[in-house]
Structure 1
Amino acid sequence: MQRRITIKDVAEAAGVSTTTVSLVLNKVPGRRIPEHTRHRVREAAEQLGYAANAAARTLRTQRSQSIGFVSDEIATSPFAGQLIQGAQDVARARDNIVLLTNSGYDRELERREIRALLDRRVDGILYAAMYHRVVELPPELAGVPVVVLNAECPDEDVSWVAPDEFAGGWDAAEVLLAAGHRRLAMVNDADEIPASAERPAGFLARCAEAGLPASAVPVVRSEPRAVAARPVARELLDRPDRPTAVFGFNDQVALGVYLAAADLGLRVPEDLSVIGFDNVELLAESVAPGLTTIALPHHEMGAWAAEQLYTLVDAPDGQAPPRRTAHLRGPVVHRASVTSPLR
């Protein structure tokens, strides 16, 4: 069996002490080691195939070089995978790893998964939600460095990051108004969640700034699925003063608007402009014409949450940084479903 390469082997190959090798490979801050020496150590380690002993490093630093990512269904969904990617990019820059769990909304399973992560001595935990909502942390996370991701938390000691739903609604109206539309409407979600309150609030606020009072901008509700939104949108569009542009609460709802328009012989975008929300690429790029939509800032939120988690992990004992919260704005993804009105 091949002998394991040790830190002593790297030190001999690089012509430095084992202490210097340890400082370089563990990226210990505040040590004045010349860059050419650091390069020589890293090169020797790579040539020898040296792999640090993670267990020994954990005992020495009291860090596992890992963080946990606790989610409801994100790990099995391609839609929100960039939440994980953003966190992984930050962790990877520190030579750390992210350990993922997925509870499927099973609270008991979630508790067992959290305990398993803590047994593995993760340095902190990202507690992530598939969709923007208010969450209560499970008791197992008391006293653990934790940041809530894609959700809000009422705990005054817990940092969180979520999408800026108001800005998203504002931007949707801005796209339609900039194209010249004055008869606008929205098909909103029937569920009582932050997004179903804030997206129409932003949409109506931008309309009001353009001189369109809320009374002139119909907002109707539907389950956030195409099959449910279709009849709701059909009724909205089958009016003498039908809107020339519709904002769908999400891309599924926007698809329902497409289907309703087709039922009534209306063409998108010639007769009706449509804008969605979420930027589910498989849907938005597959419909004809391609759907203009507001993207959720998944990667940015994942990175923000991980950076904030590391500020908690790195803080000296008894000196935890203050709570931070953020609403991040997503970009408009322009495709072909919006154009100037014909009438």
Structure 2
Amino acid sequence: MSETTRRAVTMADVARHAGVSRSAVSFVLNDRRSVSIAEETRDRVLAAAAELGYRPNAGARALAKNQSDWYGLVTEIVTAPFAVEIIKGAQDRALIDDKYLLIASTESDPAVETAAIERLLEQRVEGLIYAATWHRAVELPEIAREVPTVLVNCFDAEGRYPAVVPDERTGGRRATERLLAAGHRRIGFINLDPEIPAAVGRLSGYHEVLQEAGIAADAHLEISGHATAHGGYDAASALLDLTDPPTAIFCANDRMAMGAYDAIKERGLRIPHDVAVIGFDNQELIAGYLRPGLTTVALPFETMGALGVELLAGMIAGQSTGTGTVTVDCPLLERASV
């Protein structure tokens, strides 16, 4: 094995192999077109670099340019299904501008989070995407202000950073409108834990549509399932055991819808013939495999990731994006439960 394959190939190695000066190699490999280099020399340098397997030193280049072509993405659980969608949307959008993501998982630990952001800054990332796996207010460490930063699926309570979040209220409207369009007038609602943004927004959309249809809100038809399948089962059981039970149930997430399916079938009722069900999230491992397939409102994680990078790129380019919140539409996905 030769020396040049045992260690990183340098510009000096390329210069010796091509029979030119190191300065000429630097000009060619850094594409310095303002310097006059004969095409024959340029071709010889590029051929030597390819033959030796030369790779540029990204760290040195970042120091020289004060620019790395990397964005940092920070999230608490990179293996969560929704985080994967955010990452895909962000990376696909970054590639349009020949940028790449450095991804750091924080596991919801503030100390790890600060250390992760510090490490990304050491790598000279041009900006940060801070992504949460569920919609909520967050507090970022002060060092995040050293570079342009955009929040995805979360927001800064102090309003210091631009944020991209799902349009929870409109999503709640879409689900309720779909059930009304199917002829249902008595619609139960199984909500998440109260006061979190998703619960507030989805309930608000539900109430708005009922009011517009001239249907009075009924507190007996609103119950919390605490975001779990077990909670959805208990909540649906309580709704179905009412003297005047609902003919449709809007569940504020797909896990609760899964529990509601069990409660409905346990009573010998059929979906959607006796009771219609709509979920929220479009969690593929649930919505796509329940029988019948679950009609649900999708959280636009991939779109939010892409839009977050688009806003970040604009900030880095000096465009004024402000620190407002951008909401992204939550589309209704039809399957067979309505």
Shorter-chain TM range is 0.7 to 0.9
Deviation at 1:213, TM superposition (A): 2.1
Q: Secondary structure at the match of 1:174?
A: helix
RMSD, aligned CA: 2.9
User: 1 CA distance for matches of 2:298 and 2:121?
Assistant: 34
Aligned to 1:107: 110
- Say if 2:193 is the partner of 1:190: yes
Residue 329 of structure 2 aligns with an amino acid whose one-letter code is R
In our comparison, the structure showing a higher alpha carbon Rg is 2
Contact map agreement 1:167 1:329 (CA 8 A) in 2: yes
Aligned to 1:322: 322
Number of residue pairs aligned between Structure 1 and Structure 2: 316
Deviation at 1:292, TM superposition (A): 0.5
- Say if 2:177 is the partner of 1:147: no
Aligned to 2:337: 337
- Say if 2:67 is the partner of 1:63: yes
TM-score where L is the length of structure 1? 0.83
User: 1 CA distance for matches of 2:250 and 2:150?
Assistant: 32
Contact map agreement 2:194 2:200 (CA 8 A) in 1: no
Contact map agreement 1:184 1:245 (CA 8 A) in 2: yes
1:161-209 superposed Cα distances (whole Å, 9 cap, x missing partner): 1100000000001111111111111001124200111101101111211
Aligned to 1:298: 301
User: 2 CA distance for matches of 1:208 and 1:50?
Assistant: 67
1:194-233 superposed Cα distances (whole Å, 9 cap, x missing partner): 0111101101111211221223882111211011221221
User: 2 CA distance for matches of 1:169 and 1:24?
Assistant: 55
Q: Secondary structure at the match of 1:187?
A: strand
User: 1 CA distance for matches of 2:287 and 2:321?
Assistant: 41
Identity of aligned residues (%): 39
- Say if 2:310 is the partner of 1:269: no
TM-score where L is the length of structure 2? 0.84
Contact map agreement 1:5 1:50 (CA 8 A) in 2: yes
Superposed counterparts of 1:198-213, under 5 Å = 198-213=201-216
User: 2 CA distance for matches of 1:217 and 1:305?
Assistant: 40
Structure 1 runs (4+) deviating above 3 angstroms are 1-10, 17-25, 44-53
User: 2 CA distance for matches of 1:154 and 1:23?
Assistant: 45
Q: 1:156 to 1:285 in 2, by over 3 A?
A: closer
Deviation at 1:22, TM superposition (A): 4.3
Tell which deviates more after alignment, 224-233 or 214-223: 214-223
- Say if 2:292 is the partner of 1:289: yes
User: 2 CA distance for matches of 1:115 and 1:204?
Assistant: 44
Q: 1:80 to 1:56 in 2, by over 3 A?
A: closer
Q: Please, which runs of 5 or more residues in structure 1 have no aligned partner? A: 26-30, 32-36, 339-343
Q: Please, which runs of 5 or more residues in structure 2 have no aligned partner? A: none
User: 2 CA distance for matches of 1:255 and 1:267?
Assistant: 14
1:66-112 superposed Cα distances (whole Å, 9 cap, x missing partner): 11111111x11123311011111122222222111111111111111
Q: 1:330 to 1:20 in 2, by over 3 A?
A: farther
Aligned to 1:247: 250
Residue 95 of structure 1 aligns with an amino acid whose one-letter code is D
Contact map agreement 1:186 1:246 (CA 8 A) in 2: yes
User: 2 CA distance for matches of 1:68 and 1:227?
Assistant: 37
Superposed counterparts of 1:67-82, under 5 Å = 67-73=71-77, 75-82=78-85
Q: 1:221 to 1:24 in 2, by over 3 A?
A: farther
User: 1 CA distance for matches of 2:301 and 2:104?
Assistant: 18
1:248-283 superposed Cα distances (whole Å, 9 cap, x missing partner): 010011111111112221111111100000001011
User: 1 CA distance for matches of 2:220 and 2:27?
Assistant: 69
